[in-house]
């Protein structure tokens, strides 16, 4: 997923602020934390994803000569001294990145990524980090619900054409797989991440032949194993009748339109009456977790689902309130100062934090967010791990199949109610007394100062 | 916007079908048309965008050796003869691309892109074409509404961090600009497409200083022209008071939280009472066309808007029903056959088409969709233009600023009711008698055959 001009894929204000820091706070060390300000109404948990891309970006962060030339052209930089552009030529990420592992089930309030670096570097990377976590966590969180609804039937991710561009298609395929999908239709995602790829034929294939049965015969000859025919190009019962008459061994049929409950029942009956009980039925066509749950609850004879648009755009919740906030600065003299934005009732806890996931027996009971320096709670496992230390990688990102297994394992450790929808269940995230006190103290100080 | 492994950014079934066509229909010429099957409930028109990227993709379409090696590994291709992979090594796009110009206001049913090419090539490119048109048209169509709501106040696109990935951020910036936004915060989009870029400071800038007024002073010294301060980090009236006391000439203040109506009124009053009537007020923070229209209708003293998440994710409608359908094949013997998919009541007109936009005086009255070979209606302007002919580019894509002007010019030529929301107005798209008859005849034939 290397990206041309990645360093430039940022908001202009990250660059103006960087220039500002360069001339006024070059030696200040900052800690920023990335977290979800709140969970949307129809999400009770999120599946964190997007870290792999961030690590690659940070380790290769550079500005090219033409990029710097473009930045300099801006009217805003008219009065900025040459030394800043000399700095940009040499800049790289020299800081420390802590993060919860990809695939971790996370909640609002808790930091999922923490960056400690010279303030210029920590600021410059904001937009890229947010955009990367946003798309992957968004889709992984939606996909986890779809996978649950279909379980134990497998879900394939088929959304490349309706994802928000071709990059989003690849990232969505990765996120959906991590969250439990069995595979993707996207070939690039298959090649880059080792995700199983699936696909057979479109309606166009059938239409390109004078007779539907010719299209089936030709396809079966070329792809005699794992053959799946699309059967709704013209008339479903007629297509099934043709398959029965063909007498070839095929693996399945795909229904892509109409009412999937009625159609799957009719198709099953028709196939079974011809003794073709082993031909599987796959359903696709604007499905989501709600429609799949309805099909499952009514015992639709569907053996697998292809899900696209609704999942890769996270249609019922197409964005997450993900933010990256300055929580602490360390001045050149060593003074550590917790920071936070105060206005408009958005509560933000100051200071560098850690998150512990507390267990009882084999179940998670709550998360505990505290200052990084506070005492470790008993039976708590820390979630933030170090991936980059002073600009050097110190921990590998697991293969996607391993991360997928990690998601599945975690699901067993939470109360099952977390995965219901709709549901009023809320997992408990506790904020330490230390953090609450610091928040109140800072708030008082700010009000007195302003 | 060159993309690595672009040819592989496709669904696996495009490749299996291509192999199938290679061995059975190599010399068939196909015409596919890309169109919007319906307009979503809350859209009355779409602003077509995404063509530039498609032209670049088609002109550079190639498979690399490692890509072909990856494809061959697939179990599905186990029985496929070597000659297909030899073909893939040499494949390029040799067909013809017709499209409506970028920025054209379009409606459902009418083809916006038409590809005529050897069927293998025309099929291979489906996923990429759909994904590219989808994201840009989606965002341009949303942005046009936001721009209308704010008019004449300018709208800046600020959504990079919440777009669906960093590529979507750049594509959304381009689409929003074409649709009428005044500029973007995205630096890469600025460099690639010549879009004006904007940006000042975040809350973090203010927090990084002990005193808010130090953060303002430092910023003003470095960026003395077009200075805009963010004033809601701690307490808005206190921040405005500091600006008044500073006595420096600044251009504006930005409010990013709270109730923008109340806050803008209070800020305006505070500034005006100090004689600072020329300091402008900018509002941002989860705005969309509905909120902006409300602010405008209540005469909020806001001089410009920054819009992000809601616009770049098209939050009230995060996907469009865009499809790419086979409409005609020409067999090696010259026989032309119109095609269509019939099932489940989705009406699709067969055959290669043209779209005419009919005017009366200086107003558009309706669009007329007909067979490409039908008589040209009087006072009709054809919308589909040829961009690539037999693999060679024959028409340039205008600069983004020109396309933006084209969108604005068209808006004056439609009934103003088209741009209201909500509204029951529906622009008339007429389908020719010739197309309707052909549809009915084919439908009858299909039903008899099946």
Residue contact A167–B163, C-beta within 8 A:
no
User: How close, in Å, is residue B243 to chain A by CA atoms?
Assistant: 13
- Nearest CB to A318; choose among B170, B236, B313: B313
> Cβ contacts of residue B91 below 8 Å, gap of 6+?
B61, B62, B63, B120, B121, B124
Question: Of the candidates B126, B218, B233, which has its C-beta nearest A343's C-beta?
Answer: B233
Considering Cα of A179, then A180, then A184, then A190, what sign does the dihedral take?
A: positive
Is the confidence at residue B344, as pLDDT, over 60? no
What pLDDT is recorded for position A343? 59
- Quick check: A187 and B258 CB within 8 A? no
pLDDT of amino acid B3: 73
The predicted pLDDT at position A379 comes to: 83
Specify the pLDDT at position A316.
97
Distance CA B13, CA A198 (A): 8
Beta-carbon separation of B188 and A76 below 8 A? no
| pLDDT tens for each residue of B233-260 | 999 999 999 999 999 999 999 999 999 9
| Nearest CB to A20; choose among B5, B205, B319 | B205
- Which pLDDT value is given to residue B342? 67
B442 pLDDT band (50/70/90 cuts)? confident
Chain A closest-CA separation from residue B168 CA (Å): 6
Residue B449 has pLDDT above 80, yes or no: no
Q: What is the CATH number of domain A139-312?
A: 3.20.20.70
Q: Which of B6, B164, B224 sits opposite A168 (nearest CB)?
A: B164
**Cα–Cα distance for residue pair A404/A47, rounded to 1 Å:** 11
User: Any idea where the domains of chain A sit in the sequence?
Assistant: 12-124+321-449, 139-312
DSSP assignment, residue A417? Answer: G
Distance CA B171, CA B137 (A): 10
Residues of chain B positioned with their CB less than 8 A from the CB of A5: 188, 191-192
Q: Which of B258, B251, B267, B271 is nearest to B198 (CA)?
A: B251
Phi, psi (5° rounding) for residue A332? Answer: -55, -30
At residue B213, does pLDDT exceed 60?
A: yes
> When comparing pLDDT for B88 and A442, which is higher?
B88
Which residues in chain B are contacts of A198 at CB distance < 8 A? 12
Q: Are B179 and B188 in contact (CB under 8 A)?
A: no
User: Chain B interface, mutation test: which of A161, A250, A253, most B Cβ atoms within 10 Å?
Assistant: A161
Q: How far is CA A139 from CA A48, A189, B61, B124, B365, in A?
A: 10, 14, 29, 26, 42
Are B67 and A219 within 8 A, CB to CB? Answer: no
Q: Does the beta-carbon distance from A20 to B132 stay under 8 Å?
A: no
Check: CB of residue A60 under 8 Å from CB of residue A88: no
Picking from A79, A170, A186, the nearest residue to B224 by CB comes out as A79
Cα–Cα distance measured from residue A298 to residue B242, given in angstroms and rounded to the nearest whole number: 65
The percent of residues in chain B predicted with pLDDT above 90, rounded, is 88
Inter-chain residue contact A343 with B138, CB threshold 8 Å: no
A14 contacts in chain B (CB < 8 Å): 199
**Contact residues, chain B, for A201 at CB < 8 Å:** 13, 16-17, 20
| CB pair distance less than 8 Å for A161 and B449 | no
Using CB atoms, pick whichever of B127, B192, B346 lies closest to residue A160.
B127
What is the bridge-based pairing of β-strands A113-118 and A96-99? antiparallel
Alpha carbon of B361: minimum distance to chain A alpha carbons (Å): 39
Q: Are B32 and B324 in contact (CB under 8 A)?
A: yes
CA B315, CA A99: separation in Å to the nearest integer?
Answer: 28
Tens digit of each residue's pLDDT (9 = 90 or more) over B294-337: 999 999 999 999 999 999 999 999 999 999 999 999 999 999 99
Integer Cα distance of B230 and B248 in angstroms: 15
CA distance B135 to chain A (A): 5
Q: What is the pLDDT of residue A344?
A: 55
CATH class of B12-124+321-449: alpha beta
Give residue-wise pLDDT tens across range B353-410.
999 999 999 999 999 999 998 888 888 999 999 999 999 999 999 999 999 999 999 9
The residues, any chain, with a CB within 8 Å of residue B129's CB and separated by 6 or more, are B34, B54, B113, B115, B324
* Residue A337 token pair: 């100062």
Q: Give pLDDT tens digits along chain A (450 positions).
A: 457 778 999 999 999 999 999 999 989 999 999 999 999 999 999 999 999 999 999 999 999 999 999 999 998 899 999 999 999 999 999 999 999 999 999 999 999 999 999 999 999 999 999 999 999 999 999 999 999 999 999 999 999 999 999 999 999 999 999 999 999 999 999 999 999 999 989 999 999 999 999 999 999 999 998 899 999 999 999 999 999 999 999 999 999 999 999 999 999 999 999 999 999 999 999 999 999 999 999 999 999 999 999 999 999 999 999 999 999 999 999 999 998 776 555 678 999 999 999 999 999 999 999 999 888 888 899 999 999 999 999 999 999 999 999 999 999 999 999 999 988 899 999 999 999 998 998 888 877 765
């Amino acid at each position: 997923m290397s990206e041309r001009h990645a360093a430039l894929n940022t908001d202009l204000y990250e660059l103006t602020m960087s220039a500002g820091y360069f001339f006024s706070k070059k030696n200040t060390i900052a800690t920023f934390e990335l977290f979800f300000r709140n969970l949307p109404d129809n999400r009770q948990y999120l599946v964190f994803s997007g870290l792999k891309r961030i690590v690659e970006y940070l380790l290769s962060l550079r500005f090219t000569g033409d990029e710097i030339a473009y930045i300099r052209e801006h009217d805003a930089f008219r009065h900025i001294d040459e030394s800043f552009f000399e700095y940009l030529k040499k800049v790289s990420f020299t800081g420390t990145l802590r993060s919860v592992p990809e695939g971790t089930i996370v909640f609002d309030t808790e930091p999922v990524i923490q960056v400690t670096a010279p303030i210029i570097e920590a600021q410059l990377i904001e937009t890229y980090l947010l955009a990367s976590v946003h798309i992957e966590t968004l889709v992984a969180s939606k996909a986890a619900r779809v996978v649950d609804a279909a379980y134990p039937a497998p879900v394939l991710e088929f959304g490349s054409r309706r994802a928000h561009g071709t990059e989003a298609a690849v990232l969505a395929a990765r996120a959906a797989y991590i969250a439990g999908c069995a595979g993707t239709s996207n070939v690039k995602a298959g090649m880059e991440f080792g995700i199983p790829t699936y696909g057979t034929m479109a309606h166009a294939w059938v239409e390109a032949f004078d007779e539907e049965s010719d299209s089936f015969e030709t396809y079966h000859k070329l792809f005699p194993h794992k053959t799946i025919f699309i059967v709704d190009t013209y008339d479903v019962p007629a297509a099934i009748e043709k398959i029965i008459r063909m007498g070839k061994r095929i693996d399945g049929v795909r229904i892509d339109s109409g009412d999937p409950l009625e159609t799957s029942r009719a198709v099953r009956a028709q196939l079974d009456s011809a003794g073709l009980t082993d031909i599987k039925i796959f359903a696709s066509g604007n499905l989501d977790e709600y429609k799949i749950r309805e099909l499952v609850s009514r015992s639709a004879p569907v053996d697998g689902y292809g899900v696209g648009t609704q999942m890769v755009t996270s249609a019922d919740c197409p964005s997450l309130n993900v933010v990256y906030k300055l929580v602490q600065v360390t001045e050149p003299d060593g003074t550590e100062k917790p920071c936070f934005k105060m206005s408009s009732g958005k509560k933000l806890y100051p200071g560098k934090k850690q998150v512990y996931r507390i267990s009882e027996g084999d179940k998670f009971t709550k998360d505990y967010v505290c200052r990084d320096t506070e005492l470790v709670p008993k039976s708590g496992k820390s979630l933030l791990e170090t991936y980059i230390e002073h600009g050097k990688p110190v921990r590998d990102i697991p293969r996607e199949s391993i991360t997928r297994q990690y998601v599945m394992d975690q699901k067993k450790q939470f109360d099952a109610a977390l995965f219901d929808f709709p549901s009023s269940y809320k997992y408990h995230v506790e904020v330490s007394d230390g953090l609450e006190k610091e928040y109140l103290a800072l708030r008082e100080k700010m009000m007195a100062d302003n």
